[in-house]
A and B are shown apart, each in its own frame.
Chain A
Amino acid sequence: MVVKFDSTDYNELFHKAPCGYLKLDAFGKIITVNDTFCNWLGFNKKDLLFTKSFQDLLSIGGKMFYETHFLPLLQLRGEVSEVNFELLSIREKRLPFLVNAVTVFTDDGQKEFNITLFDISQRISFERELIKAKKEAESNAKRLEEKNRELERFTHIVTHDLKSPVRTIEGLFEIMSKKGYLSEEKEAKRLQKMVLDNLRRMKVFIDDLVDQAISENETEYGKLIDLNQICHSAMEMLGDEIKKDNVKFSINPLPIVKGNVSQLVRLFSNLFSNSIKYRSERPLEIEVSFERLDTWAEVKVKDNGIGFDPEFKERIFEYMKRLHSHEIYPGSGIGLYSCKRIVEAHGGKIWAEGFLDKGAVFHFTLPLA
């Protein structure tokens, strides 16, 4: 079938188009305009043609944007798309439009601009909501960041200030004991032991808090790090404990990763001392290995200790959450939480597998170099 399309049809296509359509001369004067546009803004065609320029119809903010962004782009690039303008109707009502424009040239080389406008009154209110929400989110994030920094500073000060009086008390207590100032009575001895136990708990607690505070300076995660060395540094740090308990390590070759040295040493030493703390009657064996997963290394630290009830596999990483009482296993509940923070700061994940009395395996991922 041959479709005939003559100038009357084009005329209809132009004037009844579901968008505003106009043509401006090189100076921005309106030289052609369709019915849709005139109806939307309530103008008579003769009010616009050769009398008004496009920017006369813009709100003041729009005029400024037109002069500083829209026109330079249209002049230099020959087209501008998806610009948001508010136009003023004949009754001075503001109507939002999405505007596209192209530069064309007449046969005698004159520059003209073709402009289409789409009504976006519904979309704009949605967009404004989005902008508002984005602004709110940004200011919340900023506030949170400040709060976090404050909190880090606070932890830092508190832990450092608490450390020395606790040490002093412990020292004084020892002196008193050496000099025989303490009572040898049964009930007194029980109480003295409780005092000492509590002091030690406090010391462990403070040390862990210090470790946990990833300091503000530790923001460098791009260093190339040999995990074999990290593993050995961590073992050296725990030297006495390892010797005392005769821990058997088997360390398989480990990869080079990207990260932060002191944090990764802390990660391994926390995991090792966790294994040591929760060892069973069996001689403790710790095995470290890794698997390559695309651009990530999944490191496994496996022990044959007391393990844990799989039900608690998430809970063990929570802040100050502990599965055991202080009397059985002293600790602060910060060690594994700290591991989680370190791994996550490296962009990785940490998780654990365990069964009661069957040992535990800690998995974590780090970015490969």
Chain B
Amino acid sequence: MTTKTKNNVKITGKPEHPTIMFAHGYGCDQSMWRFVVPSFTDGFQVITFDHVGSGNSDQSAYDFEKYDSLDGYAGDVIEILEENGLDQVIFIGHSVSAMIGALVAIKRPELIKKLVMIGPSPCYINKEDYYGGFEEKDIEEMISTLEDNYLGWSSYITPVIIGRPDKPEFSEELNNSFCSIRPDIAKHFAKVTFTSDNRNDLSKIKVPTLIIQTEPDVIAPEKVGEYVYHQISGSVFTKIQTAGHCPHLTAPELTIEEIKKFLNYGG
């Protein structure tokens, strides 16, 4: 099986230009990037994909052992890049994918030229003198919220296409599995994401890194973003004036602007 089907890899933009890869976080799929991607297709070759288990990936490829740590996901990113003969890629990772990108940059520095972390957290659970924002029981509570929403999930499978009067270019057909995820995978992915601890990896990141922070962000609070910034030497920290964990959805223009500034691209 190629990564094209396994990870539902989509390549757009200009093949002769540098490559920029967008990796979605926990809970949705690559459609999270739809407000951001169009701003980069003129100057870059753009790769988006779904993590195995999410979106339109091959759910049968979800191996509970392999994906029991973020390394499994990092391995997939490496595979996608290798299969397409790509290196020196700009990696934009949201939430858990910010850490997945970091793992790739540590393991295979030649593959990643620059790293953009949106709402990163190396460790969600509070530990001794580290503030992650959550207690262990909070994570359990989230899992039980997931279980309460089994029913809700099945209803997501029905596609409903809502016209977007503000941005008609996005009224394209949405596919059936839009942001849907198998409940057992959702639970496992949540557990792996929110119990991961990659604090010790941060200082090993040697590529230029941008951290994009919002305020307030319940999932990755500002304190955590600052921690990441202090651990990665030479990194850049920027705060976007919007609330919530998904600035690429709530404030795509600001997010695009920060990424462009970091890449010295456009105005």
Which A positions have Cβ atoms within 8 angstroms of B? 26-28, 53, 55, 59-65, 67-69, 71-73, 75-79, 81-86, 96, 103, 105, 109, 111, 124, 127-128, 131
Contacts and interface: CB of A to CB of B under 8 A. Distances in A.
Contacts of B250: 26-27, 71, 75
Given A60-B134, A72-B28, A79 B246 contact: no
A362 B85 CA distance: 63
Which 6 A-B residue pairings sit nearest by Cβ, starting from the closest?
A: A68-B27, A78-B162, A61-B141, A61-B145, A84-B148, A67-B245
A297 B207 CA distance: 67
A26 B160 CA distance: 21
25 contacts: A60-B141, A60-B142, A61-B138, A61-B142, A61-B143, A64-B142, A64-B145, A65-B149, A67-B219, A67-B245, A68-B245, A69-B28, A72-B27, A72-B179, A72-B246, A73-B28, A77-B174, A82-B151, A84-B145, A85-B145, A96-B148, A103-B162, A111-B166, A124-B148, A131-B148
Given A28-B243, A60-B142, A67 B148 contact: no
Contacts of B27: 67-69, 72
Interface in B67-113: 95
A105 B166 contact: yes
Contacts of B165: 105
Contact of B148 (A68, A76, A103, A127): A127
Contact of A64 (B34, B174, B218): B218
Nearest to B96: A68
B2 interface: no
Candidate in A28, A73, A85 with the most chain B CB atoms within 10 angstroms: A73
Candidate in A67, A68, A124 with the most chain B CB atoms within 10 angstroms: A68
Contacts of A59: 141, 145
Given A82-B151, A84-B152, A72 B160 contact: no
A31 B182 CA distance: 35
Contacts of B142: 60-61, 64-65
A67 B246 contact: yes
Contact of A82 (B138, B152, B162, B245): B152
B144 A75 contact: no
A152 B217 CA distance: 54
Nearest to B179: A73
Given A64-B218, A82-B151, A82-B152, A77 B178 contact: yes
Candidate in B34, B147, B155, B219 with the most chain A CB atoms within 10 angstroms: B147
Interface residues of B, number: 43
A144 B250 CA distance: 49
A83 B152 contact: yes
A134 to B, nearest CB: 9
Interface string B37-54: 000000000000000000
B32 interface: yes
B133 to A, nearest CB: 10
Nearest to A82: B152
A27 B34 CA distance: 19
A298 to B, nearest CB: 35
A81 B155 CA distance: 8
Contacts of B149: 65, 69, 83-84
Contact of A75 (B147, B174, B242, B249): B249
B26 interface: yes
Contacts, number: 112
A131 B144 CA distance: 10
B59 to A, nearest CB: 17
Given A59-B141, A61-B141, A61-B144, A27 B242 contact: yes
A72 B174 CA distance: 14
B152 A67 contact: no
A224 B246 CA distance: 52
A79 B249 CA distance: 14
Given A65-B142, A81-B152, 9 more contacts: A59-B141, A61-B142, A67-B27, A67-B218, A71-B246, A71-B249, A79-B162, A124-B148, A127-B148
Contacts of B174: 77
A82 B155 contact: yes
B146 interface: yes
B238 interface: no
B243 A68 contact: no
B235 interface: no
Nearest to B135: A60
B130 interface: no
B162 A53 contact: no
B3 interface: no
A27 B243 contact: yes
Nearest to A55: B218
A77 B162 contact: yes
A131 B141 CA distance: 15
A65 B246 contact: no
Nearest to B146: A65
A127 B165 CA distance: 38
B177 to A, nearest CB: 12
Contacts of A60: 134, 138, 141-142
B150 interface: yes
Contacts of B132: none
Contact of A68 (B26, B31, B151): B26
A53 B244 CA distance: 11
